[in-house]
Structure 1
Amino acid sequence: MKLNDPFGRAQRKQQSSYESLRHSLLAAGVTTREGAEIVLKNLMWRALAITLLVGLVTIGLVIFLPNMSAAVLTFAFVILSWLAVTTLNGYSFVRRFIRDELSDL
C-alpha cells in the first residue's frame, strides 16, 4: 500500500490510459520499434509546435490587449502545463509500449 495512493486509483487510471494508448498504437499499425520511435518523434514535434503557437498567440494578445495580459498569461500557463503533463505521460506510455510489446521483436 502506498501512502500517496492508498487505494490504487491513480495506478488503475494510468494502467487504463496505457491500455487505451496501446490499443490505439496497435490499431494504427505500429508494430515495430522504428514505428514507435517515429510516434515519439512526432509527439515531441507536435508539442513543440503547439508551444510555439501558444507563445505567439500569447505575445500577440498581450501586445494588442495589454489590460487583459494577466488573464492571457494565466490561460497560457494552464494550457502549457496541460500540454507538458500530457506529452510526458504520452512519452512514457510509448516508451513502456516499446519496452513491453516491441522489445522481443
Structure 2
Amino acid sequence: MTDTLTERWEVICPQELVEPERGVAALVAGSQVAIFRTYDGGLFAIDNRDPIAGANVMSRGIVGSRGDAPTVASPLHKEVYDLRTGECLDVAGVAVRTFPVRVRDGMVEVGAR
C-alpha cells in the first residue's frame, strides 16, 4: 500500500527478511509495529500491542484469512484482526492501529505518523 499523505517513511529491513505468513516487530517513531507478509506477497503493518491483553505480541500472531480478509490471530487469546483495517473480527469495537507500508528499492518501509 502506498500512502501519498505520509511524509516520513522509516526503513525497516530488506523485503526478503519478512517471511511469508510470519511477522516481524520494529520500532517506528517510538511505537512498536508488527509487519506481516501474506502468502500472496501482500505487506501489512499494525500496532504490535494486543488491545485486549495489553502485551506487545502481535508480531508473533498466526497469519491467515477469513473470506477475502488477510488476518492475524493474537498469540495470547486468539482474537482475529483484519490486517487491512485493524478491526477485530471476534470482538465488536476492538481494533489495532494500522500503518502504511510499502517496498522501495527492495526495502520494507513503514509510514511514521
TM score, norm. by length of structure 1: 0.29
Higher relative contact order (CA 8 A, sep 6+): 1
More strand by share: 2
| Bigger Rg, which one | 1
More helix by share: 1
TM score, norm. by length of structure 2: 0.28
